[in-house]
Structure 1
């Protein structure tokens, strides 16, 4: 019952019952704590005569948690004088509630009585779940099981209520597990205090005689997981010497024996599927070297894990391409030379530690003030191509809750240091003959030039504070200037008293992106803390300058390697694409009419998405999110092919001597992709989308370079003439608070005024953004209320999140493990050939 309770609490709602049963069985097998049946202590008394008496009591308390539900106290009397014993009369209490027990005691006023077989309300739901699991149809989910079991039977009793009753009626109470049942029942012995004093009250369980027999029936073996761990390590080590990395199994299950068919062959259908979370626990291998210790600490902090094994796969414990940049940045600050490409190729700490510091080239990047002309990058070309009426108002912003004791003068100095250190924040843009140029402005470290201000709202009411904050934020959002600056505003709102102040940071999108927001706040508050300690500000060394990156992209745009990708992008135009249905065809698609709809997964579902789902088909989070989106759009449009603009972080490893892990700027790659829905089966659909995404060359960065940076005008014109998507998708990564920082509750969702000018034209009819905030995935669908009906868009968002839940549930099922051709890159197989080969092996 205990293990069932834990697994039901941790399971995702859509998990089916056969998978839940397997998780419970594995949890029991890998449990590292000793779980003891109460009858063990009675059997111990019969085996060892020196134990004169055994007393057991249920744990007291009103909180419904593990301590209260399943733990109990045991007192063994060793060679103690035998005191007087109280053996009460026994009353069958299986149908009695607290009121019936009170009536019995008041009517009969016994000196001692035992009410046996009372249903313990603390564990009643768990008991019923166990019974249902043994008999319920397999199609039910955990959520349906919980709904069925939510009502506690009326006769169920909280032991604490009986303790209160005993005090009211002048009794001493002994509550102990029931001797006759293992289904969560207990016995309650009421004894007059004057009789109980100095005596031992015997409950039916402590009176019975139990023969020890097979002692392992009374408890689990916590050491068995150590044996399992050793076996797995030895087998893995042997296979790693014999097989390529991608062929070494990622999931392991140790069984006492293999299930057999009646013909004596291995029954493959009866083999249990690996459970990622439990196996990670069972296979934990601590860091062995200082490099492994450093990497493990970084992984734990960035991924939010309590511990990490050196054999855990980065993408199967919640990692993604954005987080990989953070890992590399932190590793370099710790003195380890790594690249994101190495992390993609060596996805465990053990393998990554072996190559740390082995890059063949170590380039010295510009550490001084970078100034002068900067070539436009592809995404910046795209921005100016939009010809927005309010180009100065196209921002990203964040609001942070900070200590009310933050010193404004120190924070202003820290902001100045950030502007000096991160060159992109000093960009300026000038239009000449219908073309735009950008330059990096210098920095005179003039206090008056620092775009920082303090707004004191302490004398206003909460309602007035909120209104004033929104008004000021709206004004600041529209105040940036592309040619004269600044491109950044920082405003500290002081709310007074003990209320946390609010720190608003606004930056024009031309100078910042999602990855940059992982760098800037940390640097800002690191600089502030150093000033607060009276130290000189020392920020980590700069990586490749945005100016240098722009030059390298322009050079790469003329290379034969890149031009060979052109055919891939042009061939996509052959697919027939359905236009999105619209409800109001005459609507104007401007920002003013944009509406946001947000749907989300639970924390448990998000954990499954990040840490369990990847192991089924060797996928990454974008594969799963896009499969759900393609399924949703294909059903809506009644088509098999959808055209979507995908956004990537754009910091691809194109050049060995370039490191962008700590460079601030707008690096986003944006490219159109046709995605086909080949099956309604969630597993087959996921495999197909995974392979289509793997076929995109260089994760799509080449499209923008070919279109905007190639000197061949015909090439750019061909790409510009391709059908343009009406839907965009962008996964922004994970945003979780760091309790070690002097700020909390960072949010890109708080009201900080409009990030874009209201008259700006939107590039797509639908924008879908995914992000994880405080361990919970949120999907934000942005549509135009003058083009689409609200209820239709709500239904579309709900369809999307439900499709995503279905994929998660499938990937947790028994049959959800398979390979795709990209898992074997040197084998040159298609899916049919690979399936046939695997079938032959099986």
Structure 2
């Protein structure tokens, strides 16, 4: 009953049944974090991964109270901090020399550093693929917008800056060169990077010109400069409209992040910033990921799951495909309604997302 009440509030639904699925009712990863926080206040701790494995209300309710929340160590870096030492960084093991190396990468030095911590396992994998790519970046996300005139565009960018000021992860840069393990560094102030370009009057539609010029298959951004959001703006040829191309790195967010960010930007533009909820510190998630279990425990789990697999399980002869991924094409097809419903029923039965299925 307590869980259903929280779902009703977070998801904005009138009724929640015992067999309802959190994600089918509109839940997503950011709402999952809020759900964990509400449950923690009621001393009904549960791990985020349990929610993804058991998203149905009655299944999740049976798991409540089974998880002992990791105590998140306090951030020992304050606004008056003059020097950062290894003892002040409970979420990463660094030497003083490595810390000094990080400080040298941040504009404004120590005064502009809010926090330093390690990467989550998912971020580790994304950074690995970024470094593996010799050209372009497989984890650079692109979105496009158009504005009636330059004034509207400027108001939008000013609102984005206010949202960046609110959220730690949007002011985070990544440093790995010269370090024993990669670090993410939260800047206190991170100004938006906005580049204005001129489009060719005879080069075809403006949005296609922008996409060609900043195609992630050839284009990369500097991960050491926060925020890992880049904006390219241009006046549309033969028009008063302005086009905007937004590049966001997957290290700091995903499609859901973009949706939440745009919703907050809209709230700010409408003069309702005071209505926004207090942001959750990203260090809390990092603490759960890094302190919740040892790497030995994780290795033992995957050994037990995968020890008897002795060859790759790639379908369709994909192991014989060579290339850098630049030859990939995309096609879209609408599924018949009946097949769509069967797929969703199967995903519900298995307790996984439709994307996973």
Shorter-chain TM-score category? 0.5 to 0.7
Shift of 1:601: 1.8
Correspondence for 1:504:
245
Please state how far the C-alpha of 1:588 moved relative to its aligned partner. Answer: 3.9
Partner residue of 2:17 out of 296, 310, 313: 310
SS of 2:350's partner is coil
Give the conservation status (yes or no) of the 8 Å contact 2:8–2:15. Answer: yes
Map of 2:32 onto structure 1:
328
1:450 aligns with 2:184: no
C-alpha change, 1:349 and 1:563, in structure 2 (3 Å) is closer
Partner of 1:543: 280
For residues 286-332 of structure 1, give each alpha carbon's deviation from its aligned partner in whole angstroms, at most 9, with x where no partner exists: xxx9985773465467xxxxx755344217x8369xx4534435658
Q: Please name the residue that 1:415 is paired with.
A: 160
Partner of 2:260: 522
Q: Does the CA-based 8 Å contact 1:365-1:545 persist in structure 2?
A: no
Say if 1:554 and 1:464 are closer, same or farther in 2 by CA, change over 3 A: same
Q: Which structure has more RCO (C-alpha within 8 Å, separation ≥ 6)?
A: 2
Paired residues for 1:45-60 under 5 Å: none
CA contact under 8 A between 1:527 and 1:537: conserved in structure 2? no
Determine the structure 1 residue equivalent to 2:224.
483
Per the normalisation by structure 2, the TM-score is: 0.62
1:410 Cα offset (Å): 2.7
Paired with 1:511 and 1:463, the residues of 2 have a C-alpha distance of 33
Candidates 589, 593, 606, aligned match of 2:340: 606
Give the drift of 1:549: 1.2
Counterparts of 1:407-806 in structure 2, within 5 Å, are 407-425=152-170, 426-432=172-178, 437-444=182-189, 449-453=191-195, 463-474=204-215, 478-484=219-225, 487-492=228-233, 495=236, 503-512=244-253, 514=254, 517-533=255-271, 536=273, 539-546=276-283, 549=286, 552-553=289-290, 556-558=293-295, 561-562=297-298, 564-574=300-310, 581=317, 588-610=322-344, 612-613=345-346, 618-621=349-352, 731=355
Distance in 2 (CA, whole Å) between partners of 1:384 and 1:431 is 12
- Distance in 2 separating the partners of 1:489 and 1:576: 38
CA separation of 1:598 and 1:567: change in aligned 2, threshold 3 A: same
Q: 2:143 aligns with which of 392, 399, 403?
A: 399
CA contact (8 A) 1:395 1:508 kept: yes
**Unpaired segments ≥5 residues, structure 2:** 79-111
| Structure 2 Cα separation of the partners of residues 409 and 443 of structure 1 | 23
In structure 2, distance between residues paired with 1:546 and 1:391: 31
In structure 2, the CA distance between the partners of 1:579 and 1:297, relative to structure 1 (3 Å rule), is closer
CA deviations 1:94-129 (Å, max 9, x no partner) are xxxxxxxxxxxxxxxxxxxxxxxxxxxxxxxxxxxx
Which of structures 1 and 2 has the bigger CA Rg? 1
Distance in 2 (CA, whole Å) between partners of 1:358 and 1:314 is: 20
Give the direction of change, closer, same or farther, for the CA distance of 1:384–1:436 in structure 2 (3 Å limit). farther
How far is the alpha carbon of 1:450 from its aligned partner? 1.4
Deviation track 1:332-371 (CA, whole Å, cap 9, x = no partner) reads 899996864468668338996x999999869789799973
Q: Is the 8 A contact 2:147 2:153 kept in 1?
A: no
- Cα distance in 1 for partners of 2:292, 2:165 equals 28
Q: Which residue of 1 aligns with 2:7?
A: 295
User: How far apart, in 2, do the equivalents of 1:417 and 1:492 lie?
Assistant: 19
- Aligned-pair CA distance for 1:506: 1.2
Q: Secondary structure at the match of 2:148?
A: coil
Q: Is residue 365–residue 543 contact of structure 1 (8 Å, CA) maintained in 2?
A: no
Against the structure 1 CA distance between its residues 297 and 563, is the aligned structure 2 distance closer, same or farther, given a 3 Å change threshold?
closer
Once residues 74 and 159 of structure 2 are traced to their aligned partners in structure 1, the CA distance between those partners, rounded to angstroms, is 21
1:561-583 Cα offsets, whole Å, 9 max, x none, are 44542541452334686885379
RMSD: 5.2
Contact 2:230 2:248 in 1 (8 A): yes
- The CA distance in 1 between the partners of 2:284 and 2:37, in whole Å, is 22
| C-alpha distance 521-377 of structure 1, shift in aligned 2 (>3 A) | same
Structure 1: state its 5+ residue gaps: 1-288, 302-306, 626-730, 733-769, 771-842
Q: How far apart, in 2, do the equivalents of 1:596 and 1:356 lie?
A: 42
Match of 1:58 in 2: none
CA distance in 2, matches of 1:366, 1:477: 41
- CA 1:493 to 1:308, structure 2 compared with 1: closer, same or farther past 3 Å? farther
The number of residue pairs the alignment matches comes to 314
Offset at residue 489 of structure 1 (A): 0.6
Distance 1:466 1:487, change over 3 A: closer
Tell me the distance in 1 between the aligned counterparts of 2:30 and 2:299: 31
Q: Which has the higher strand share?
A: 1
Shift of 1:465: 2.0
